[in-house]
Structure 1
Amino acid sequence: MHILSFVIAMAAFVVGLWLFGLAFTVTAWQGPIFFGGILAVSAAIAIPVHVLRD
């Protein structure tokens, strides 16, 4: 369970960083894409804090 949670958190973190970069290269929807990156990175930090705390 802990390994699966870690893999999901790491994937969310990488996708969030990719969305940050993508927001600066597209010509439209920069704000929602960047906000999606913020949400993905926030979820990637929240997963270990709440799931892996024991």
Structure 2
Amino acid sequence: MSVFPFLIAMALFVFGMWVFSIADVVPGFEAIVFFGGIVCVSLSLAIPFNVLGRRESGV
């Protein structure tokens, strides 16, 4: 796993966790903000599972 995609995935994961934590503070948009956190965490897991797995499979 190269460093740059790992840093992107880790940043998305941490940002998604932070968005989860502020979801109850945003009045009227709790569900939208929480769903945004779910999307960020899902994307952070999709990077190593799909993108990096295909690129490094020939090694």
Tell me the TM-score normalised to structure 2 length: 0.82
Structure 2 unaligned regions, length at least 5: none
- Answer whether contact 1:5 1:51 (CA < 8 A) is retained: no
Shift of 1:13: 0.3
Structure 1's consecutive aligned runs of 4 or more residues displaced over 3 angstroms after TM superposition are: none
Matched, 1:21 2:50: no
Instruction: Tell me the amino acid that sits aligned with residue 29 of structure 2.
Output: W
Unaligned segments of structure 1, at least 5 residues: none
Tell me how large the CA RMSD over aligned residues is.
Answer: 1.3
How many aligned residue pairs are there?
Answer: 54
- Percent of pairs with identical residues: 46
Give the number of the structure whose alpha-carbon radius of gyration is greater. Answer: 2
Q: TM-score scaled to structure 1, two decimals?
A: 0.89
